[in-house]
A and B are shown apart, each in its own frame.
Chain A
């Protein structure tokens, strides 16, 4: 705290508080939407979701640390659902951005199983369950 410069000090005072993202202890979760048309193996899907989880965690650590802390300390709920194709993924991503939910998308390098650059997973959140359910509620669990 002491080694902060003057501008950092000003920023701390004037920047919007992150607390407003985390209201009344709403349950939080992270959702992974899998591109099901690629027909990846289980291990492949797991690794891709691992990529997505790390990317989403790092991103929210930068942008919404309060939200991340709340999610980490409440059991890090994660859910995996499937989408038919790339178009559906892009649609969900678009809606999520519209509702200011953090998104991280993963494109595969294509070393195994699928062509390079395939859009494999979209991670949403961590964010409030209600907001995420509105977007992904009707998708089937994987």
Chain B
């Protein structure tokens, strides 16, 4: 499959039950993006290169709660994809140590689709 039809994707799984403000959510996803990229640079450097050269596709998905994040974390680890689980320091909106976002990838789009196909995008 060519790189064009299958652009590497990074996904952010965001908890909806915390009802974070837009700014807080954005910052959490930024943390996830940087952290997951640093992980992936070590283990999946060619994928990272392809991801940067294509559109650096990113997508925000909604999950219900921490349990669901843990479920997907398990899947991601089994598939040995790069990931970053973000726990907030708790200085502003949520309690310290709260899991807010799971960043996954970059990984091939079809892998992402098969793992997270059932999830909705975050509105």
Contacts and interface: CB of A to CB of B under 8 A. Distances in A.
Interface stretch (A2-10, A72-80, A89-97): A72-80
A42 B122 contact: yes
A49 B52 CA distance: 16
B123 A43 contact: yes
B27 A79 contact: yes
B59 A47 contact: yes
Contacts of A75: 89
Contacts of A103: none
A34 B83 CA distance: 26
A38 interface: no
B14 interface: yes
B77 to A, nearest CB: 21
A42 B33 contact: no
Given A54-B56, A57-B37, A109-B55, A47 B29 contact: yes
B31 interface: yes
Interface residues of B, number: 30
8 pairs of A and B residues whose beta carbons are closest in the complex: A142-B23, A43-B122, A43-B60, A53-B30, A80-B23, A50-B33, A49-B26, A46-B29
Interface centre among B24, B26, B59, B121 (most CB of A within 10 A): B26
A79 B33 CA distance: 15
Given A47-B60, A54-B37, A57-B37, A76 B25 contact: no
The bracket for how many chain A residues form the interface is 20 to 34
Contact of A47 (B23, B34, B58, B89): B58
A53 B56 CA distance: 12
Given A50-B12, A79-B27, A80-B27, A45 B34 contact: no
Contacts of A76: 31, 34
B82 to A, nearest CB: 13
